[in-house]
Structure 1
């Protein structure tokens, strides 16, 4: 390895371009650190490192969302870099969207460009990042013989070839992908309650520190509550990442879309509570374990082997439609775009970001303008990208269903032709590193936890339509359950099968509301044009049991679109605001209002209802639902 390192350093100094695809711990960062020392000794310029990883090193500077943003700060930065007072300049990829950054870089003496997490450069597969597209443009404004080092631990053959094409035929150093310190294990766990029971049974056996990946922020928060109840020190990424790095936490929870590489060498356990989007992401996340220790366990829990591939946030047809719409006008705001085109917030934002990166749109504040650059539909390339994405997703499905060495299967799926059985995974040893038989008592404890736990949801602060503060917001949002919990399943059955809520459900609502009520409380049901009597009957029964007032002061003028069919926040708000009205002469002065509904998802029904109720001047508004359906 030492000879490889020295050879690469020599090649970089000789102005070669190099792409390194090697696993975590191979020493990729050491390459550019030593190359920089030698280049500085020759009075060469600064090393610019483009990286999503927040890094602090001696003799370094950073440009991110908050650092070195003003003109004066950047002028000082140019002086510092060009006078050898700074060895490394770290830039977050998001900053590449700022054209002024290109002007700054053109004034620097740059000896070496380093691109960390270079798999994001590729447009193929699930790890493509539109911000990395500007790197190709950056290289065009710098001297043609500029030294470039791109590094990644995660790139299959297709991604490697795509990166190499963008870098201009670099020297490629690609090693074996098998991670020798890892002991892999997979386990089919069909239900949410069983997954939580498995976590309970194994919580005291986790070798800490531990990383857990779950599909959504909401799921991460619920798991964190459960593990804290079991006595573990738990935090959420990204807010508490530093505490995890400082060993102040036992467990850090991340979403499965998190591709951050943690520079922490003693991570002993990685648990995938939910499956990630691809075998590439899975490999990248397990690479965080066992870097400087002889053994680490990586366990993936899954509900089904053949889960369908989720739709990507970027699709060519939607991308084309957004560009075509903006082309018709002299500037379009995001609000106008959302009100006209019923695409999700993620699809719209991702498409706009990519279009700016591709030079098809320009952004000025909140308005987007079409540029003269022609849009060329690349159907063949788009199909190629979609096929690559499907292959990466299928690779993980194959690993979950196959009978064979888990590490070898993972590495082979990533095009490592020399992978061999690891002798350490649960297939090779026929031994599980965890307690996998789930006890009924543990499941019952989980169900009690779900039933006792009240979900909190936060109000919208501004109108999505006007971007102005709402006149009045509900101060607290509470729900009795999530949709995948036993109680949530009961509420679903009562609504859609029984057509009425049971007395047990009424009692649960009363128990939740009792501490919130006083003599001035009024319960107001959210109206529905499809199940007209369902929520009002529940609300009236609860009001009678609590001895508080009841009012059907809100009504819908006509049948609205199904709220779940409205895909972005503007359309969700507009769908409610167009039809929800307050009865004339309603006066709630000094009253506390409890808005009651069966399900909450986008929170816009509650937000608009509270805004409309502001005309009746209540002193406080609380929103309560039976089920929180949100997936955020």
Structure 2
């Protein structure tokens, strides 16, 4: 039986809950585990880890606890929250409960000083901060210590981000360990997540410092979602999946989310569905913040049937009546899949969940896995550069000195910062000189776990057992049992696999549409002089490549699916296939007739190409040579020759890393042979520069510069694929 004081506390908690959910009947009551968590935080000042399914009400725990703690004189609650969508939803929810909430994140920098002043004046009940703020030098050194001293409750939302995946997704989350050590001992801490198996739960508890504490409370509930009907529809190819979606989208209940694995696919699907009369919008990591907010609002108010989204729309987006979630392609883990489908059915009795797996899924998983924590060699190189630098190095200054792209370099430095090997200061990064050990065993273990989870997603798509039970078991839910709602439990598919010939033809037409713009490089990357390459600033106009074209992107679900195996290093080099050549010819025809094209009739249009030049290749020489030869034949123009590698290039490996490192490797590695130079001098017009693929554009930029210097009037890049 509760003590009288705790009974009063529970009554007060239920009153706050009623305000939070807008209940005027007085019947709103906390779930038992919600109350247990609140009691631990408010009455006992303990640390708690809450692992409960999406829609269970984890945010109610920390908002109710905040209101009760503030009434008792505690300082403001600090919520570390990973995504802007989550922050916006939470601020609105807090206001309903009479809780003043403010945020500090990358989208409101102009408000930071005001917010910090309001916090200092005691006018803010809840401060939401993004994990990145914890590693900002000013925030870390000036704001964080005061915040830690004044905080009444620390909340770590979506706490699975600090688990093994943290060094890839949000390394800033690991900074929380430092904040935890600086908290006064009587400050309660709450960590919440919906997507954690036992391994992740244990790891999160350890990361938060709760794992070794006998006082820690772990509340883990059943993960069955009774409103969700899980389904899998295995269709032959991308065209059938796209056609099916266009034909059946309006049959899905309410409004929802269509998840894709890549930005290119999201944009491709959005464009097609719009041509088929559907009101949809795309939502990706490349979507501008204002457009993201508008897209969220349009979905919340049912102005769109669906958002076509990448994982950028995930944790924390709260639309209780979301009627469906469709995946065009499988996420790489059951944890990610469960988290995303959990957006649906939170406030309705029934929601549809449908997976349309693709043959290309594994290749996309492999690409993203390649962006994991760098090798020990690269880490040691970075530490060595910092150790020998007489001053702090900014990311732009450090990037040319190591073979890492800026985003991976920054993520790696944040991990090293948490590990104590480097430190971020106002003017850049410095070495601390502390010993550091590369945890190869841990990284190999993470890779092994990832491979197992990828296999689990393959098994999910093909299982004949209950799909919800399968997911629950993957998440180590001991209450897992057949749901009675999924396609396997009911014994028949909920959706027909058939599509009409009209819809399929339209999808084939969309996916078969070839042509992607290839924008030329205009500026040399910073830091080249430090590498001994005397190039900087703007590339002279007379040495630039012109805008070019590609057949498709490797990350799209149209030509990308055809080009990925063709360009794979595991595929033997071969002459260009007829279907690919015909599509390239179509791209050329569209290019010629389009705006500024040589056949457009525009008096200021570019001149018609007068010859073809191919690129040297160590991996696909037959493919590129045959492509150049056949384009020359179709276009009735000469094959002028090929850019070649120099003798110095034999020992050079062009890194797939940052721009400066690529330029250093390419500098002096390519040449225009004498025969080609002579041909260029007599070629009175632009030349097509033919290659198999472009990723950063620097190989094309260097080749175009050489051609222009050798006498080419223009260099028009024409490639099969844009990578990334």
Alignment TM-score, normalising by the size of structure 2:
0.75
CA–CA separation in structure 2 for the residues paired with 1:588 and 1:333: 47
Q: CA-to-partner distance for each residue in 1:401-459, whole Å, 9 max, x for gaps?
A: 32211001101110101112111111111232323135566444322223334323444
Q: In the alignment, what sits opposite 1:520?
A: 607
Alignment pair present for 1:451 and 2:545: no
Q: In the alignment, what sits opposite 1:120?
A: 161
Q: In the alignment, what sits opposite 1:243?
A: 294
Q: In the alignment, what sits opposite 1:173?
A: 219
CA–CA separation in structure 2 for the residues paired with 1:563 and 1:208: 56
Q: In the alignment, what sits opposite 1:99?
A: 137
Q: In the alignment, what sits opposite 1:16?
A: 46
Q: Secondary structure at the match of 1:204?
A: helix
Alignment pair present for 1:81 and 2:170: no
- Alignment check: 8 A CA contact 1:610 1:621 kept: yes
Q: Secondary structure at the match of 2:132?
A: helix
- Alignment check: 8 A CA contact 2:520 2:548 kept: yes
Q: CA-to-partner distance for each residue in 1:238-268, whole Å, 9 max, x for gaps?
A: 4343233223332222225764331122221
Q: In the alignment, what sits opposite 2:626?
A: 534
Q: Secondary structure at the match of 1:520?
A: coil
CA–CA separation in structure 2 for the residues paired with 1:555 and 1:498: 19
Q: In the alignment, what sits opposite 2:550?
A: 479
CA–CA separation in structure 2 for the residues paired with 1:133 and 1:198: 43
Alignment pair present for 1:49 and 2:79: yes
Q: In the alignment, what sits opposite 1:203?
A: 249
In structure 1, runs of 5+ residues without a counterpart are: none
The Cα shift of 1:127 comes to: 7.7
The Cα shift of 1:115 comes to: 0.8
The Cα shift of 1:153 comes to: 0.9
Q: In the alignment, what sits opposite 1:405?
A: 466
TM-align CA RMSD:
3.9
Q: Secondary structure at the match of 1:294?
A: coil
- Alignment check: 8 A CA contact 1:506 1:538 kept: no
The Cα shift of 1:507 comes to: 4.6
Q: In the alignment, what sits opposite 2:338?
A: 283
Distance 1:24 1:612, change over 3 A: same
Q: Secondary structure at the match of 1:260?
A: coil
Q: In the alignment, what sits opposite 2:26?
A: none
Q: CA-to-partner distance for each residue in 1:57-112, whole Å, 9 max, x for gaps?
A: 24222211243479xx53x4343113221111110111211132132122232111
CA–CA separation in structure 1 for the residues paired with 2:310 and 2:678: 47
Q: Secondary structure at the match of 1:272?
A: strand
1:385-534 alignment runs, 5 A limit: 385-438=446-499, 442-464=503-525, 466=527, 468-472=537-541, 476-482=547-553, 485=558, 489=562, 496-498=573-575, 504=582, 507-515=585-593, 516-517=597-598, 518=605, 520-523=607-610, 525-529=612-616, 530-531=621-622, 533-534=625-626
> Comparing both structures, which one devotes a greater share of its residues to helix?
2
CA–CA separation in structure 1 for the residues paired with 2:486 and 2:511: 33
Distance 1:432 1:112, change over 3 A: same
- Alignment check: 8 A CA contact 1:267 1:289 kept: yes
- Alignment check: 8 A CA contact 2:81 2:158 kept: yes
CA–CA separation in structure 2 for the residues paired with 1:88 and 1:588: 72
Q: CA-to-partner distance for each residue in 1:439-491, whole Å, 9 max, x for gaps?
A: 56644432222333432344445434648444445564432345664698499
Distance 1:202 1:612, change over 3 A: farther
- Alignment check: 8 A CA contact 1:600 1:628 kept: yes
CA–CA separation in structure 2 for the residues paired with 1:537 and 1:305: 30
- Alignment check: 8 A CA contact 2:373 2:443 kept: no
Distance 1:486 1:236, change over 3 A: closer
Distance 1:478 1:520, change over 3 A: closer
Distance 1:391 1:464, change over 3 A: same
Q: CA-to-partner distance for each residue in 1:264-323, whole Å, 9 max, x for gaps?
A: 222212111111121111111111111111111111122469958633511564565445
Distance 1:99 1:16, change over 3 A: same
Q: In the alignment, what sits opposite 1:26?
A: 56
CA–CA separation in structure 1 for the residues paired with 2:67 and 2:46: 17
Q: CA-to-partner distance for each residue in 1:315-368, whole Å, 9 max, x for gaps?
A: 564565445543663277767876676566665443233212322123457864
CA–CA separation in structure 2 for the residues paired with 1:487 and 1:60: 45
The Cα shift of 1:52 comes to: 1.4
CA–CA separation in structure 1 for the residues paired with 2:280 and 2:427: 38
Which of 388, 404, 414 is 1:329 aligned to?
388
Alignment pair present for 1:314 and 2:314: no
CA–CA separation in structure 1 for the residues paired with 2:438 and 2:651: 33
- Alignment check: 8 A CA contact 1:186 1:400 kept: yes
The Cα shift of 1:587 comes to: 8.5
- Alignment check: 8 A CA contact 1:501 1:538 kept: no
CA–CA separation in structure 1 for the residues paired with 2:330 and 2:167: 14
The Cα shift of 1:159 comes to: 1.0
Q: In the alignment, what sits opposite 1:255?
A: 310
- Alignment check: 8 A CA contact 1:451 1:487 kept: no
Which of 266, 276, 295 is 2:350 aligned to?
295
Distance 1:433 1:90, change over 3 A: same
